[in-house]
Amino acid sequence: MAKLFNMPSGAVRQAIRCVSSSLHSTTLRAQTTMAAAMPDPLPVRQKTPLVTEVGKEPPGPAMKTNVPGRESLRLKAELDKIQNTDAVHFFVDYANSRGNYVVDVDGNIMLDVFTQIASLPLGYNHPKLIAKMSNPDNMVTFINRPALGSFPPADLVDKIRGTLMTVAPPGLQHVQTMACGSCSIEHGQKAMFMAYMRRERGGKPPTAEDLETSISGQAPGCPKLSIMSFNGAFHGRGMGALACSHAKWFHKLDFPVPDWPMAPFPKLRYPLEDFVRENEQEEQFCLEQVEDLFETYRQKGAPVVGIMCEPVQAEGGDNHASPAFFQGLQDIAAKNNGYLLLDEVQTGCGVSGKFWAHEHFNLREAPDVVTFAKKMLTGGFYYKQEQKATEAYRIYNTWMGDPSKIMMLEEVLNVVHQNDLVNNAADVGQFLLQGLLDLQKLYPGTMKNARGLGTLVAVDFPTTAFRNSVVITLRNKGVNAGTCGEAAMRLRPSLIFTKSHASVFLTYLEATLKDLIPGRKV
């Protein structure tokens, strides 16, 4: 075993390839047509030496083909024989990807400002994470995945205290790990339901009738309750998370969901300083609708136990709201004996310029539940004492997370603290946003509504088709960006993204706009 870990490249490369990464869910169908139309003389790509040493980034983008290239298209055709591949953009050479640069199987080197749908905290193949995984002392943790709820390892308490509890949102003393964002959301929902019903019973245990009727999914054991969410929200693809997601048709078509309330989310006008009064009125209208929905669903016999909201609606379009709006949500929830769950799956881990985005909101107290995943590497949720389960197997599944992810998170947090990466996100995000605002002035009919919180940055284009053209052209030049909403391009770079990387992105974006708007004089 020690001999395996002493191998300088092969064993590490093989370990890297075993790590599964998600691909973006939004389909840009034009990509295959564009790539197929471009002559691509490259043969099926053979294995090549590492582009650079571990931890050393390429000097910049370097493109050999349009994306997807011939090898990506070949692999996509093979995979399509096994599963649907409409969401696949390109196949990645993870062994050769470094830092903020992703390398595809056709040898294209791209600056990645989307980082596996916002899930890579330190970019690709960070040397500290390679070292952590290569340490033979950690092999036991990687091989033996325990059923944490019943058979936790001896060091679990110390590991959680040394990682997740060191960055716990102020006011939240409890945490439960999970595997992914969707299951984190759904167990957070269950925590609110259980707390609500314990309060309704006055702290008394459930009756025999409660227990018996719950088996068949009937009241009183399975009461008719609801959770309020927002138009434009996206919380995941599990059925409970999906019930609170209202962003795009392909998330929900054909799937039955409960009748739960959907409130309007503010549609702010930009620049914010020019529309202060209008935006205040918009947020006040939305808060009034939230309050009305509490009463409406109370009368329908499905009382709202809590509000669930993203600090920034990501998939729905990178939609922001003011601190006053979130303060209002918390007040309305409390007034109606409900709870507040903030979904920080995409906004947590420092990307907003604070470790948790809701720390920007100056809430009077902590949210009742805060969910996390993506850059945190493990899923899970923080919660108050009131939301703590009081019986075994109520918040439970086989694995309930993965200690190997906590081990990797430990190293991520070390790097974050040692390199002041949260403040880096604030600083670089401001630089990035200003660059977009400057381009917006040069292309006023093409770009609009540049907005951001830390590196959670986005900009709108006139139409979905034009936005897609921007993203595809930008990628073919050497920058991989993301999309959201109807016509927005979103940026989700890693925490090691710097101003120099931002400058590369802005330069390539401007070149893209010049290509797509021929004859434009600036």
Q: With b meaning 16 or more CB within 10 Å and e meaning fewer, what string describes 230-239? A: bbbbbbbebe
Specify the pLDDT at position 416: 98
At residue 331, φ and ψ (nearest 5 deg) are -65, -40
Specify the pLDDT at position 258: 97
Distance CA 472, CA 28 (A): 8
DSSP characters for 303-349? -EEEEEE-SSBTTTT-B---HHHHHHHHHHHHHTT-EEEEE-TTTTT
Distance CA 494, CA 100 (A): 7
Verify whether residue 234 is a known catalytic residue: yes
pLDDT digits (tens, 9 = 90+) for 184-198: 999 999 999 999 999
pTM of the predicted model over 0.85: yes
Residue 29 has pLDDT above 60, yes or no: no
Both structure tokens of 128: 């500290």
Verify whether residue 159 is a known catalytic residue: no
Q: Is the dihedral of CA 196, 200, 205, 209 positive or negative?
A: negative
C-beta of residue 87 within 8 angstroms of C-beta of residue 32: no
pLDDT digits (tens, 9 = 90+) for 102-138: 999 999 999 999 999 999 999 999 999 999 999 999 9
Q: Indicate the pLDDT class of residue 61, thresholds 50, 70 and 90.
A: very high
Mean pLDDT along residues 272-299: 99
Centre a 10 Å sphere on the Cβ of residue 189 and count the other Cβ atoms it contains: 26
Mean pLDDT along residues 256-274: 98
Catalytic residue among 398, 438, 441, 463: 398
Q: Indicate the pLDDT class of residue 21, thresholds 50, 70 and 90.
A: very low
Mean pLDDT along residues 368-391: 98
Same CATH topology for 2-125+420-516 and 147-203+220-417: the answer is: no
**Tokens 């070390």 sit at which residue?**
414
Mean pLDDT along residues 296-324: 99
Distance CA 174, CA 163 (A): 13
Specify the pLDDT at position 35: 41
Task: Give 455: exposed, middle or buried? Use CB within 10 Å, 0-12, 13-18, 19+.
Answer: buried
Catalytic residue among 132, 159, 354, 374: 374
Specify the pLDDT at position 37: 37
Catalytic residue among 318, 343, 402, 460: 343
- The overall average pLDDT reported for the chain is 91
C-beta of residue 48 within 8 angstroms of C-beta of residue 465: no
More confident residue, 522 or 132: 132
The H-or-E segment that residue 228 falls in is strand 226-230
Catalytic residue among 114, 230, 234, 325: 234
Paired sense of beta strands 448-453 and 456-460, if any: antiparallel
C-beta of residue 209 within 8 angstroms of C-beta of residue 215: no
Nearest to 228 by CA among 300, 309, 298: 309
Specify the pLDDT at position 518: 78
Distance CA 296, CA 303 (A): 9
Specify the pLDDT at position 83: 98
pLDDT digits (tens, 9 = 90+) for 211-237: 999 999 999 999 999 999 999 999 999
At residue 27, φ and ψ (nearest 5 deg) are -85, 125
Residue 378 has pLDDT above 90, yes or no: yes
Specify the pLDDT at position 56: 87
According to CATH, the topology of domain 147-203+220-417 is Aspartate Aminotransferase; domain 2 (3.40.640)
Distance CA 346, CA 371 (A): 10
C-beta of residue 114 within 8 angstroms of C-beta of residue 457: no
Q: Indicate the pLDDT class of residue 333, thresholds 50, 70 and 90.
A: very high
Specify the pLDDT at position 267: 98
Specify the pLDDT at position 28: 40
Specify the pLDDT at position 424: 98
Residue 89 has pLDDT above 60, yes or no: yes
Both structure tokens of 143: 């091989």
Residue 522 has pLDDT above 60, yes or no: no
Calculated CA dihedral for residues 39, 42, 44, 49, nearest 10 degrees: -150
C-beta of residue 355 within 8 angstroms of C-beta of residue 296: no
Both structure tokens of 272: 């914010």
The H-or-E segment that residue 46 falls in is none
Specify the pLDDT at position 299: 98
Q: Report domain extents, the chain.
A: 2-125+420-516, 147-203+220-417
Q: Indicate the pLDDT class of residue 54, thresholds 50, 70 and 90.
A: very low
Mean pLDDT along residues 8-30: 39
Paired sense of beta strands 109-112 and 101-103, if any: antiparallel
Count CA within 13 A, CB hemisphere, residue 160: 19
Helical spans, DSSP H, in 379-420: 403-418
C-beta of residue 455 within 8 angstroms of C-beta of residue 493: yes
Mean pLDDT along residues 77-100: 98
Second-level CATH architecture of 2-125+420-516: Alpha-Beta Complex (3.90)
Identity at 517, one-letter amino acid code: I
Q: Indicate the pLDDT class of residue 519, thresholds 50, 70 and 90.
A: low
Verify whether residue 398 is a known catalytic residue: yes
Centre a 10 Å sphere on the Cβ of residue 293 and count the other Cβ atoms it contains: 21
Distance CA 46, CA 41 (A): 14
Distance CA 420, CA 495 (A): 10
Identity at 96, one-letter amino acid code: N
pLDDT digits (tens, 9 = 90+) for 140-176: 999 999 999 999 999 999 999 999 999 999 999 999 9
Instruction: Express as a percent the part of the chain with pLDDT over 70.
Output: 89
Q: Indicate the pLDDT class of residue 43, thresholds 50, 70 and 90.
A: very low
